Structure 1
Amino acid sequence: MTSTPVRKVGPADVAPNRRRGGDVRILLSPRTVGSTSGFGGSLTLEPGEYVCEHLHPYSEEFVYVVGGRLRIRIGEELVDLEAHDSVMVPKGVKHRMVNEGDERAQVIFHLAPLAPRPELGHVDTEFLPGRSDEPAPPVGGVR
């Protein structure tokens, strides 16, 4: 028996966020399911789309490509991923993702541990034109 209610969350249950590029959906988080150790979701990048460079000061990021291809720059290293490949981005390391292929890239990601406060969890080092004033995806909440 669990004290935390079990909740199924699908892409239609959360708003897409395009502030940093692509279609980011935070599916499992303190806000959506009451998680206490990390959060995860999905990313869809159409051909030519990218996620702006950023870093996570408190969290490692685990990236798994479900379909398509993805190029990720982690620090100064370029890593090409295709379906069923995965990679970990270490804490505090700048990274940027781009779909240089000709088909949609579908990605699952997970970050852990959580930052002490949601606003400390993500540091943007690049911005999409006209998108820097959009709110960040809701991740945190009362824990």
Structure 2
Amino acid sequence: MTSDRMTKIAAADVLPNRRRGGDLRTLLSPATAGTTSGFMGVLTLAPGEVVTEHYHPYSEEFLYLVSGAITARIDGERVPLAAGEALHLQPNVRHRLENTADTEAFLVFQLGPLAPRPELGHVDTEQLPDQAGT
């Protein structure tokens, strides 16, 4: 549902992005809602799944763990995160998310401000194991 005042999007209506691991769905973005200051979405990590290490040169990232437990690696340092906890990352901070628990983890994320161009917003520093060398 979209009007000149708002956009409503269901996570179930957004295709998952699995390039970096997990089931990541960007819900509100310039492409989906015409946002101009950032974007937000949800991430589901099954036990053993990761989101590979990366950083954002222009954006702060805000993570909120709704359910489950994960370990974030922040510039290589292990930071445990439990349901009900939030994490704020400054621009240029390398981070990786790992579900080492035996239950699914569900997170909400938001990034802002936007990079000048989409291809400049995200820098990968590792690939998923099944994509290495391809």
Q: How does 1:52-63 map to 2 (within 5 A)?
A: 52-63=52-63
Which blocks of at least 5 consecutive residues in structure 1 are unaligned?
133-143
Are 2:87 and 1:87 equivalent residues in the alignment?
yes
Give the aligned partner of residue 73 of structure 1: 73
| CA-atom RMSD in angstroms | 1.6
Aligned residue-pair number: 131
Output the CA distance in 2 between the equivalents of 1:55 and 1:30: 20
Output the CA distance in 1 between the equivalents of 2:79 and 2:89: 11
Contact 1:20 1:131 in 2 (8 A): no
Find runs of 4+ consecutive structure 1 residues off by over 2 angstroms.
Answer: 129-132
Output the CA distance in 2 between the equivalents of 1:55 and 1:18: 17
Which amino acid letter does the alignment assign opposite residue 118 of structure 1?
P
Give the aligned partner of residue 108 of structure 2: 108
Q: TM-score, normalised by structure 1?
A: 0.87
Contact 1:44 1:107 in 2 (8 A): yes
Which blocks of at least 5 consecutive residues in structure 2 are unaligned?
none
Task: Assess, with a 3 A threshold, how the Cα gap between structure 1 residues 31 and 78 changes in structure 2: closer, same or farther.
Answer: same
In the TM superposition, residue 5 of structure 1 has moved relative to its aligned partner by 3.8
Output the CA distance in 2 between the equivalents of 1:125 and 1:75: 11
Q: How does 1:25-36 map to 2 (within 5 A)?
A: 25-36=25-36
In the TM superposition, residue 64 of structure 1 has moved relative to its aligned partner by 0.2
Output the CA distance in 1 between the equivalents of 2:7 and 2:37: 16
In the TM superposition, residue 77 of structure 1 has moved relative to its aligned partner by 2.4
Identity among equivalent pairs (%) = 57
Q: CA offsets per residue over residues 92-138 of structure 1, 9 Å max, x none? A: 01100000101000000000000000000000010013447xxxxxx
Q: TM-score, normalised by structure 2?
A: 0.92
- What SS does structure 1 have at the residue aligned with 2:129? coil
Output the CA distance in 2 between the equivalents of 1:4 and 1:123: 33
Are 2:39 and 1:39 equivalent residues in the alignment?
yes
Q: How does 1:107-126 map to 2 (within 5 A)?
A: 107-126=107-126
Which amino acid letter does the alignment assign opposite residue 33 of structure 2?
V
- What SS does structure 1 have at the residue aligned with 2:114? coil
Give the aligned partner of residue 137 of structure 1: none
- What SS does structure 2 have at the residue aligned with 1:12? helix
